[in-house]
Structure 1
């Protein structure tokens, strides 16, 4: 029971961190730091931290073999480099609520990627879920009222970036799993962040170097620190620990909770407004995610086959 409470606490903290980021990042971007500058600071902090931890706890663990090394490069490119560049570029251009809702399509992408890359079967409920989620995401991307369009004139482009971000992150979750099962987590994280840095830092180092740090008020420094430590490092550590013990059903609950908290935080801070249109689009996306998260019914095996599997 105590361990279950710890799992819930870890997932709740991670969810709050992710949900708060949608609004807090809007304070920093683009006045104090541009999107790629934030990405550069985040990745540099993570590279240093995970390389140090890996040296201390898994010094002799190395990714070996051509296939695993190529997979780790793909994970770094998709899960860190492209993922973060697309996310902050999109969040800079669109509303926090829209970004948080579009992020929830990642489980739908995981199902599609698993079918393509791992030959997993797509059942009828999952196919319906993909369709319903796609309709919700498309209506959210294309349907904007006059007020939102006035505040975020490039909101459609931002929404597309966020959708691409969710797509590459969903693919990353599928291809990184074999590495996480085979190597120490810090070995994998230190490698993928290093590769991701090689992709992202060339885009953002100028923004990071030329930012006017002397003009940062204390709350901006606090928010930048939040994004570097809590969003990039602490949430990653908590999430990886919780994933060892959390059931798929429990993870699903927190997938739905994140945009709800993001909406509450954004509205309470005056960063965005919740409309009936967005609520309807959210309902479609949530329904799609719920449908694709339903496990296919197990196929009944002959008794002999079951006995052989047990051996």
Structure 2
């Protein structure tokens, strides 16, 4: 009997919740200029290397095959360095609405990459699920305005799209490693290689950081990003990829703006509306269609093909 994939889905929901809260928390740090974007990225990567290496040494101590070093390095480049630096660089030139709308292409790119690189079946259910989920996410995000290309926004939009492409390819490439090794082993090496690519770009900004200006709320916000958005989010994603298709993992990105809105509602920063309720219904329907499949008259959580 196959092992239940429910824990993997719970892990992905936790990732979406972490990122949903991160929109508000990270903005406190960067919005007030405490940490410049590339400095924050380097701080995240260094913290990831330290935390993952420590936990790996204490709990796992799993060795990797030399033949996998190349794939790990590529995952570090695409999933850590290019993913984060392209996003922040693009966001500095375009608007948050543009960036959020463009990021909804990630599951589509993952589906295409999975079919090309892994030979995963592109089923009608997956296409329908991505379409329904994307419509809900776009409906929710587009309340703030439509996609625009004024001035430097066109270049910013391109960089964000390249970020979505790099992250989507990373999810596909890292899947083979996630199935072969424990999650903590994979993310340790991915962050180690990612750090090598980020250091030359992030170090100049990190060296300029005025640490003495940080108040307790700022330090707590930084700690959240380093521990939850970095450590747990990447670890949970790698864990989920051990038993789920990359396309299933990527569809959960549509929950992020919804959970961000729910958190904002909880803090009284937004008001409940029909659009938010409809968006939520569409997003959860899309996640359901991609994550579950019909077999033997029953609905079962979709498992990855090995």
> TM-score surpassing 0.5?
yes
State the 1:200 CA deviation.
1.2
Please name the residue that 1:114 is paired with.
114
The separation in 2 between residues aligned to 1:119 and 1:247, in whole angstroms, is: 11
Is residue 191 of structure 2 the alignment partner of residue 196 of structure 1? no
Q: Which residue in 2 is equivalent to 1:307? A: none
Q: Does 1:180 align with 2:182?
A: no
CA contact (8 A) 2:129 2:285 kept: yes
Within a 5 Å distance, the mapping from 1:129-208 to structure 2 comes to: 145=145, 157-208=155-206
Q: Report the Cα distance in structure 1 between the residues aligned to 2:22 and 2:167, rounded to whole angstroms.
A: 17
TM superposition shift of 1:57:
3.0
Is 1:233 the equivalent of 2:235? Answer: no
Cα 1:27–1:93 shift into 2, 3 Å: farther
- Distance in 2 (alpha carbons) for counterparts of 1:116 and 1:248: 12
**Partner Cα separation in structure 2 for residue 6 and residue 181 of structure 1:** 15
Distance 1:288 1:87, change over 3 A: farther
Aligned to 1:22: 23
RMSD: 4.7
Distance 1:29 1:251 in 2: 28
Could you give the per-residue CA deviations for residues 33-69 of structure 1, whole angstroms, max 9, x where no partner exists?
Answer: 111000000000010111122222333512322xx22
Aligned counterpart in structure 2 of residue 52 of structure 1, from 51, 54, 77: 54
Q: Is the 8 A contact 1:22 1:91 kept in 2?
A: no
2:73 paired residue number: 73
Uncovered stretches (5+) of structure 2, i.e. residues with no partner? 296-306
Distance 1:222 1:273 in 2: 27
* Preserved CA contact (<8 Å) 1:63 1:187: no
Farther-moved stretch of structure 1 (250-259 vs 9-18): 250-259
CA contact (8 A) 2:131 2:286 kept: no
- Note the C-alpha offset of 1:22: 1.5
Deviation at 1:266, TM superposition (A): 5.0
C-alpha change, 1:92 and 1:227, in structure 2 (3 Å) is farther
Q: Report the structure number with the largest CA radius of gyration.
A: 1
